[in-house]
Every structure is written in structure tokens, then in C-alpha cells.
Structure 1
Amino acid sequence: MLFPLLVLAAPRLASAALAVPFVKPAPCPTCSSPNYVGPNNGSLGHTEFVPGKAFGRFIQIWLENTDFHVAASNPTFQDLAKDGVFLTNYLALTHPSEPNYVASISGDFYGLGDDNYYNIPENITTIVDLLVQNGVSWATYQENLPTIAWAPDFTQTNYYYVRKHNPLVIHDAIANTSQAAFIRNFNDFAADVTADVLPQWMFITPNLVNDGHDTTISYISSWLKYWLYPLLQDKRFNSGEDEDGTLILLTFDENETYSTRNAVAGLLLGSAVPKHLRGTTDSTLYSHYSTLSTVEGNWELGNLGRGDVNATLGNVFGFVADKIGFKNTDTPIASEPQTNLTGVFPGGLSSSNWIPFTAPNKNSTLFGGTKVRPGNQLEY
């Protein structure tokens, strides 16, 4: 089978969303396709299943730049919400895209206020460190990623992969180690589903067309109907029930209107969602840090000592908090931190207010205490 020639992308400027007809990138979500660019790298092997307290698999799917009310009024999201929990008070952390993705992996965005090319030092602990240390399998699946751990942006006709939406490759603790083999493409995803070897933790990023970055909420809806709807009925993806089941978070990196509160829609789906909660809403304040705290609490992984242990922004998703005995914080909107600011924070990635990378809060005892990368002599 012939695959398109690899072409390095020129820097992409923010563009208006295009109302274009949806085109299936593959015959089915579990089918390989030359449109996904790279051939699969062979399926992952079977790994030992590590039981969780509230779910056995966690999948987060990130879409792009959509205001809460736009997603909430969309018929496809309303339809999906009938079988899940609609998170009505979910916050992105900042603007623009890249710092939100980064924060979801290591619990901070380190003052990052743009979408440029960065490498986060290898001594910074990530959620992958905690997963690996506890035997929980993981992978990220990036649509149109040409090869494993590909670093630059990549473009071909109508399909775009961008590094800024791949937070795993931005962290050297992953990209510069053997863990880079788990930064995979959508042909790999098809192979892993077919072989029934999907890992227990997954981060899934569609390309710039299917995630809505360069298109519209209607295009996202078409992609969800093509890709997610069938997978929800596939037990190789949406497996088990309750504590052995799959918890899926469908959300957005940030809202579109920077001048407003940075609220985005969030949906909890999958077989792990208790049946009596399906079709309900949850108004607890959550953020992208909640993806960390929820996973840490479910498998008792320990914590990163960063935003994941923040009492305001690190709340654990409600039904999971109930099962693990975690007390969420009730924060009124008037008291919550601002999360719609851009480029004004100090940190190791700040272009205007640089300070060295800071150590985590090593005093936190949540989920087994703060963990650090073995042998680290620099940051901690």
C-alpha cells in the first residue's frame, strides 16, 4: 500500500473555521487507512490488568476551541449526554492550546503562554511515570502522526497533525525514553483495537479537521458519529462494567472566546459510568487537572504535587470521588481563579517572565503521596 509523501508543515496561522462536508478518513474507526499517513507499528502486547476502584480504563478525547454554550446546544452532544454525565462546570486552564495540553500530563503549564516548540525537561514527573510505576498500561493515539514520537508538525492535503496537541511528546521524560514507543498513530489504534490490546490509559487527539480547530462544531459532530458512536458499542474499546469498565472523557482544550470565563463542555461516557447517573449533570468545578487527580485516585498512583492536588481545580470526577472517599471542594464562581488569561504567568516556559522550573509540593499525601522521577538530582 502506498502512503503519501511526508511533508513538513509551515507554521500554521490561526484560521477561521471552515464549513466543509465531512469525509471519512477510514472505512471504519477500527480500519487502517492511508489517510492516517503512517502504517501501523504492530499491535501492543497484552498486559496485566490493574483493577481500579471506579473504572478499569480511562480514555480522554480532546477537541478544540469551542465555547461551552456552542457544544451544550449541539444535538450530537445532547444525544451523547443521554448516556453519560454532562459536566456543566468544567474549566480549561489558560490560553492558547498548548499549555492546556501540557498541564493535563504533568500538572502545570510552567508559564507557557503560546503555541511554540518547547521541550519540558526530563526530570519533570508526568502521569506516565505514575502509571508505569504502578503497572498501568498506557498509550496516546494521535491522528496523522507519521511515525512513533514524531516531533515536528506534519501536513498533507486536508489532514494536519500538530505537535502542540500532543502533550506526551512535549515532555522529555516520555519522548526521550523507551516510553516514546507508546506515542502512536490512528493506524496503530486500529491494530490495537482489532487485537483487543488497548491499554488502560489513553489520550486521543484527532487531527485539526476532525477536532474542530479548522472546521466547525457540525464537523466535529459528524466525526463523533463516524468514530465514537460505533466504538461505544465495541467492548474492545468500551469494556466491562462499573469498576472494571471504561470511563471516557470527551472535552475541549479551551473555549473560543478569550474574554469570557474559560468554560468548556465535558462529557463522562462509557461502561464505568453508573447506570443511575446516565443522563444527569454535574455542576462541581472541574478542570483539566481533574483528569490527573481522577486517575491517580482510581489506581492509588500517588500524585504529581502540582495542579492535581490543587484544592480548587483538582477535584475528582464526582462518582469516582464517591467510590474512593475523596471530598471535593465546593468553590463559588466568584472565588475561582482566573483561567482565561494568556501569557502572564511566571515559569520555566514563560517568554516574558522566566523563572526556573519549580519543585512540586512534596508534602501532599493524596493518593499515596507525591512521587518523583527516580534518580532526579536537578529539580527536587
Structure 2
Amino acid sequence: MVLHVYTSLLISSIFILGGFGKPSPAFSPPAACPVCASSNYIGQNNGSLAVQPRVTGKAYSRFIQIWLENTDFSTAQASSTFKKLASEGILLTNYNGVTHPSEPNYVASISGDFFGMSDDKFYALPVNVSTQVDLLEARNISWATYQENMPYSGFSGDYAQKNYLDPSSKGSYTYYMRKHNPLIICNSIASVPARMNRIRNFNDFAIDVNASALPSWVFITPNLVNDGHDTDITFVSDWLEYFLVPLLDNPNFDDNETLVLLTFDENEDYKSQNTLYTLLLGGAVSNHKGTVDSTFYTHYSSLSSVQNNWGLGSLGRQDTNTTVAAVFQFQAKMTNHTNTVSDADPLMNLSGVSTGVCASERWIPVTAPNMSAVGAGAGPVFASNITSTVSVDNTTPLNLNAMGLVNPATVIPSYSAPSTDPNANATSSPPVTSSKSTAGQGYRIRAGPLGVVCPALAILLL
């Protein structure tokens, strides 16, 4: 998989920097409309999700977040499209990423931590890492993620295909990257077939919206050109005019009980505070159009706000840290929640090697959640039958690289695509290098560079 990932990155770089598959600098709609099926997406829909009743929340009954890539606040602020959208909702002027680079921000937004992740490499978080999905399912709140250009539900690699922006190109282009899909990175989601089926593509999105089957919690990731990763703010703005602007007038997407969070994963300038141009849109904020909120928020706020809205439990991680996980202020007023106000905002632009289950040079097992924490939803901290509640905070970090050991969190699981998916045999699936047994029974770990296998790591990882 490492070779596969680096090959995809190399191909992508060649195309962007002037190679034979360079995309057109002008935006081109990938489909006739945001809710139209497209042959530009290899993955065809698998039929709509079942329509589930929405659970009424205190401030909204549907939460949709759309993530864009690597853009400074001032850059987005200069866009006429972003200005127009800001007039339709609440501009959050102090919403921040939690670190650099991209992948740890995505992971943090659903699991309350980034577990020592300090790069964009392949990671598969162990099954004892709980996520917002666990909290939603505990209250029967429906959810799904929609990933543009992902070939099929639960696909676990990067995906290159014919470049639809340049039909004359003989090469392929990596439109979809796994690192921007936080749900597939978490084995507690990817190892469960019913959950894997909710990791869907944009043709699935079209059929779900048209069938009034869009779930109550939704995470949307555009492809690498439409999210700005490989393009610029003009291209992103054109995509928003094509995709989001009409959807805000579609009652199957946005009604008076819908909140839409439009944000970026991180800013471009690593030297400055990691502040992101972020908007709250949708019917739930129709009485707050054109307003500005300067409250200090981070990606952990999307966790705490959802928990507060539906009275959920918490993950006992940064989602319960009131300094970095403020609830959206318009909502806090409705729910009588008091946010913590600090004298100074913590720095959120830090990057580099840290300690955690993803840090091969400073590896420790998954730290236990704080079981006594009280989150914004006031419910109990989630703990499954495989969640370790034993503190490992004082564990001495291990340098697995120096020990010649493979970090189990970097080993590709052998999860299969859902059997109902007509594209389950797509050839771009990554090679299997390890195998995962049923949840809680552990990994079979491949030998490291020195031929050493460490069963203890597998046990600690779980």
C-alpha cells in the first residue's frame, strides 16, 4: 500500500505541475447537477439508503459538514462566492484546525484526537478507538459520509481514474484520496459491513437526496480539484456555485432544521494560527443571516456541538475539553450551554512528531478516554466491550522504527467491500498485507524490517 500511495502522489504531482494529465485550470461540472448521476464517477449508486426518521435535536435535526482543503482565511475571504455565502449564514472568524497536515485534522473531527498522527501516511486506527458514529448510533441517529470519486462503498485506498477535466489526456488522475475520508481510517467503522455501506460516493449522494434519504449526520468530501487541494480558491468557488448554492434551495438537502458547516481542514500558512474561513449555513440559522461569531472554535467543536444538540454521550477526549471544543454560540444560547472563555486562544498550528498510537517513533497504546469527563451533551462517556479504560498516560514511548517493528496502525486491514456492491471487484483496491479478525480478537502482524514480530504490540493496540 505504501508503494500504491506514493505512486498516486507522484502521478498527481506530475499532472498538476505540467505533466501529460494536467487538469484544465477552469472548473468543469463533474455532473449535470449536484443531484444528477455522473459517468465521471466510476462508482455507480447502490440504491438509496433506507429513509430513517430524523431525531429532533435542540437546534437542528440534520447536521452536514463539507470540508475543503489548505486555504488561508484571507484567501477565502477575498472570494465573492464565500462573501455571498457569508451573507446567508454565520461567519465564524475564529474557527481553527487542530494541527498540520491534513489527515490528523480529519481524524480528530470524528474521534476527538489525532493519536500522534503528524503526517499524511496510511493509518488504520484500531477498533478500540471510538468515534462520533458510536454516539450517533446509540441514539438511532442516521449517518453517512459521501466521498467524491470514491469507486465503491468502503474502498480503502486512493483512486486514480481517467481525467474528466482533460478528456484528451492519456493518463489517469488521482481524484480521491483516503486521507480525506476519516471514517474509513477508523477500524471501528471500516470493520463493520453495515457501517462500511454508509461510506458512500457522490452517485450515492445524488440518489439519497432525490429519495429524501439523506441521513441526519453527513460528512462530505469533494475530490482533489473541487476541494482546492490541487487547484485554487477560484476553482473551489466555482464548485460551490455548482454544488452547494443550489443545494441550499433543495428541501431534500436543506430545510428549516438543517445546519451546514462549510470549512477547511487547515490553513496554508503553517507559521500562523490555524484559523479557517468557516460558515454555518442552512435553515437552522435562517434568523442569523449575515452575522459574525468570533468565538474560539476548532474541529472538536463539530463533535461537541452535535453531542450538545442531541444530548449525546461523549468520547472522553478533546471533545470534552471546553477550551478547544466550544459549542456553536447560536446553538449554545438555545440549549442554555455556557462556553468556556479563555484569556488567550491556544496555538493550533503546531506540527511535527508527537506521541500516540500512530507515531512509530514515539509509540504508545491508545490512551484510555477520560471516563469521568462530562461533555456538552451531558451523556456518559462511550465505552464498548473492547474499550480500554486503563490509563497508559505514563507509558514510556517506544521507537518502533529503531526496534525494527511495524506499527500495527500502519498495516492495511483486509476488510472486503460489501458484497452487495456491484463494483466490489474494482482493480484499484490496495493489496492485502495483513489480516484482521473479528473485532477485539487482534491483528496478525506482518514481520518488520528485521523479521521481528511483536504480538505484544497487537495486544496493546487493542
Q: TM-score, normalised by structure 2?
A: 0.77
Residue 195 of structure 1 is aligned with which of 211, 224, 231?
211
1:23-172 → structure 2 map (5 Å cutoff) = 23-158=28-163, 160-172=175-187
Distance 1:8 1:195, change over 3 A: farther
1:20 aligns with 2:25: yes
Q: Is the 8 A contact 2:97 2:267 kept in 1?
A: yes
Q: 1:304 corresponds to which residue?
A: 315
Residue 372 of structure 1 is aligned with which of 376, 382, 387?
382
Q: Percent identity?
A: 52
1:270 aligns with 2:286: no
Q: Deviations over 1:144-177 (max 9, x none)?
A: 0101010010011335100000000000010001
- CA apart distance, 1:322: 1.0
Q: Matched residues in 2 for 1:47 and 1:345: separation?
A: 41
1:324 aligns with 2:335: yes
- CA apart distance, 1:377: 5.1
Matched AA of 2:270: Y
Residue 342 of structure 1 is aligned with which of 351, 355, 358?
351
Q: Deviations over 1:289-336 (max 9, x none)?
A: 00000000000111111111112110001111111111112234xx33
Q: Is the 8 A contact 1:112 1:351 kept in 2?
A: no
Q: Deviations over 1:107-140 (max 9, x none)?
A: 0000100001111111111000000110100000
Superposition RMSD in Å = 1.7
Distance 1:186 1:50, change over 3 A: same
1:180 aligns with 2:196: yes
Q: 1:232 corresponds to which residue?
A: 248
Q: Matched residues in 1 for 2:286 and 2:234: separation?
A: 29
Q: Is the 8 A contact 1:205 1:211 kept in 2?
A: yes
Q: 1:209 corresponds to which residue?
A: 225
Matched AA of 1:227: F
Q: Is the 8 A contact 2:90 2:279 kept in 1?
A: yes
Q: Is the 8 A contact 1:81 1:267 kept in 2?
A: yes
Q: Is the 8 A contact 1:141 1:186 kept in 2?
A: yes
Q: Is the 8 A contact 1:193 1:236 kept in 2?
A: yes
Q: Matched residues in 2 for 1:342 and 1:134: separation?
A: 35
Q: 1:290 corresponds to which residue?
A: 301
* Higher RCO, Cα 8 Å, sep 6+: 1
Distance 1:309 1:137, change over 3 A: same
Q: Matched residues in 1 for 2:207 and 2:130: separation?
A: 30
Q: Which has the larger radius of gyration?
A: 2
Q: Matched residues in 2 for 1:143 and 1:249: separation?
A: 18
Tell me, what secondary structure is at the counterpart of 1:78?
helix
Q: Is the 8 A contact 1:89 1:284 kept in 2?
A: yes
Q: Is the 8 A contact 1:62 1:206 kept in 2?
A: yes
Instruction: Mark the runs of 5 or more structure 2 residues left unpaired by the alignment.
Output: 18-22, 164-172, 391-462
Q: Matched residues in 1 for 2:5 and 2:352: separation?
A: 27
Matched AA of 2:356: G
Q: Deviations over 1:202-245 (max 9, x none)?
A: 00000001000000000000000000011000000002x2xxx1
Q: Matched residues in 2 for 1:125 and 1:89: separation?
A: 28
Q: Is the 8 A contact 1:8 1:154 kept in 2?
A: no
Q: TM-score, normalised by structure 1?
A: 0.93
Equivalenced residues, count: 367
* Residue range with higher mean Cα deviation, 353-362 or 83-92: 353-362
Q: Matched residues in 2 for 1:128 and 1:221: separation?
A: 30
Instruction: Mark the runs of 5 or more structure 1 residues left unpaired by the alignment.
Output: 1-6
Q: Is the 8 A contact 1:361 1:370 kept in 2?
A: no
